[in-house]
Amino acid sequence: MGSSILKRHRKKTILLAVAFVGVFTISTDYNKYFEIAKNLEIFANLYKELNTSYVDEVEPAQLMRTGIDAMLESLDPYTNYISEAEMEGFRLQITGKYGGIGAGIRKSKDDDYVVITDPYEGFPAQKSGLQAGDMIISIAGKSAKGKSTKEVSEVLKGSPGEEVSVTIRRPGKTGDFDVALTREEVKIPNVPYSGMVGDNTAYITLTTFSERAGKNVADALEKLQKDNDVKSIILDLRGNGGGLLNEAINLSNIFIPKGEEVVTTRSRNIERDRTFKTLNKPVTEELPLAILIDGSSASASEIVAGVIQDFDRGVLVGVESYGKGLVQNTRDVGYGSKLKLTTAKYYIPSGRCIQAVNYKDGKSQNIKDSLHVEFKTRNGRTVLDGSGIAPDVEVKIPALSNLSRTLLTKNLIFDYATAYKLKTPTIAPAAEYKFTEADFKDFERFLSTHDYSYETKSEKELEQLETKAKDENYYDAVKTDLEAMKRKIVEDKKKDLYKYKDQITDLLKREIVGRYYFQKGGIEVGLSNDPDIEEALNILNDANRYKSILK
């Protein structure tokens, strides 16, 4: 009897608790939605008052865009509003396609005009004879002076089949001239180069995870296998900032079996969590594989690199990747615009998330080393979360010297390549091209008529020391020594051109070869002097070392 009463009492208590939770949940939801409605009304009233009563005329669309951007800046850098006018650029990221003339552009040295940097092979700009270094003076009869690259790009883009006329100013040519271009659908290849390095190693570079990335890599590999005795593979993901999640799964599937888990996405709503597995038979499960990564390899690149590492399927070579473990999706928000927002984090097969930065109020906060958790690969190797993908073999490439960086930022490498092309109609094939000692002397003469001054870290620190010495009344005592050190640095800087000759020559070769053989040529000429590729080949050609790394 007492037991029966106790059960009824417990049941009543549970029902009351459930009812309380239900009421609390309804109350919480009501408060939340009331806050949303209240603040939307406040925002609408404020917006209306600014439009009607502010002392100066305001542009409503620009005012709203400022508010939207400021709101999204309080979240993370990957949550963005994409207006209808920006949709063409967004589609380019996803599909690699757009309607236009097919050329890379940037501001000129004096910032007055935009210059063409890279006509894409086989598209209107290149077929019409436009060259790197050409300055765009006007478009459709309207001056392009002072226009940003974004503004010029938007005017040059348009529906395939439409014609656009541009006025060009070319270095070394007297007088401006007009070029009529017919826009086409421009498809930027996500696999710009594939070929053999060494005797039996296939090399494939992937620049972005846009549509068909996985299939394009698979096709390139199968063609190389058909035409060559391929015994190992190098997949280059350096500089690849990611893209479509499904393409990361497709690319992983080239190397790992059907039915294997590649990535799991987890959001705040457990019902939306998803696990993605490989769906097809791989192209190769056995061939030794090296994947190249660097600090700009992010998102989908990190999924592929992480999956290969977690399965102990290949060796990662380079430096630690970027550390982006966030998933973005898009939502239509009306009038042809979209919201791209972060909806989840992704987790690779070992269970780790490689997101290296947390965001609070729009500000980044690096995850502390003490919070990194250890996970295990299939073979039991230890890997960490919260810090990007660490390579199995690290290759530290020397940083660009101050001089090399200055020659690039002041466009002197670019301008010399333009001048070189004007006086040299043809060069040897990309893989055979040599930048000779006479060429380097010519470059030295070119620099003698241009400003390439730069300040070293030592000079900056000497200036700071001089300021402190003056503040503390020690300057007279150290003045002679400071002046002597300054003179010594200036004398040594004069030798920098030859001190960093090899580095500068590499930059010049890539830029020059790109003028004749476009993007493929620039990549090919870089293969012969690439520390990452050299190390990858050493590993792939040493079976014992390759296996020991994966153990």
Active-site residue list: 299, 310, 324
Which helix (DSSP H) or strand (DSSP E) does residue 19 occupy?
Answer: helix 2-53
d(CA 446, CA 441): 9
Rounded to 5 degrees, what are φ and ψ at 3?
Answer: -65, -40
Residue 112's SS3 state is: coil
Distance from C-alpha of 111 to C-alpha of 146, rounded to nearest angstrom: 7
Question: Distance between CA atoms of 108 and 120, rounded to whole angstroms?
Answer: 19
How are beta strands 274-277 and 374-376 bridged, if at all?
Answer: unpaired
Residue 352: how many CA atoms within 13 Å on its side-chain side? 29
11: its two tokens: 């049941």
**Do the beta carbons of residue 202 and residue 232 sit within 8 Å?**
yes
The CA-atom distances, in angstroms, between 323 and each of 36, 306, 360, 375 are: 33, 11, 17, 16
SS3 letters across 439-470: HHHHHHHHHCCCCCCCCCHHHHHHHHHHHHHH
Cβ burial of 508 (10 Å; 0-12, 13-18, 19+) is buried
Distance in angstroms (rounded) separating the CA atoms of residues 128 and 125: 5
Task: Give 505-509's long-range contacts (Cβ < 8 A, gap of 24+).
Answer: 505/435, 505/440, 507/404, 507/407, 507/408, 507/413, 508/413, 508/416, 508/417, 508/435, 508/439, 508/443, 509/433, 509/435
The alpha carbons of the chain give a radius of gyration, in whole angstroms, of 29
Q: b/e string for 9-39 if b means 16 or more Cβ within 10 A?
A: eeeeeeeeeeeeeeeeeeeeeeeeeeeeeee
Going by DSSP bridges, is the β-strand pair 289-293/232-236 parallel, antiparallel, or unpaired? Answer: parallel
* Rounded Cα gap, residues 484 and 489, in angstroms: 9
Q: How many secondary structure helices (H) and strands (E) does the chain include? A: 17, 23
The pair of three-digit structure tokens given for residue 514, joined into one six-digit string? 């790109």
CA distance 321 to 318: 9
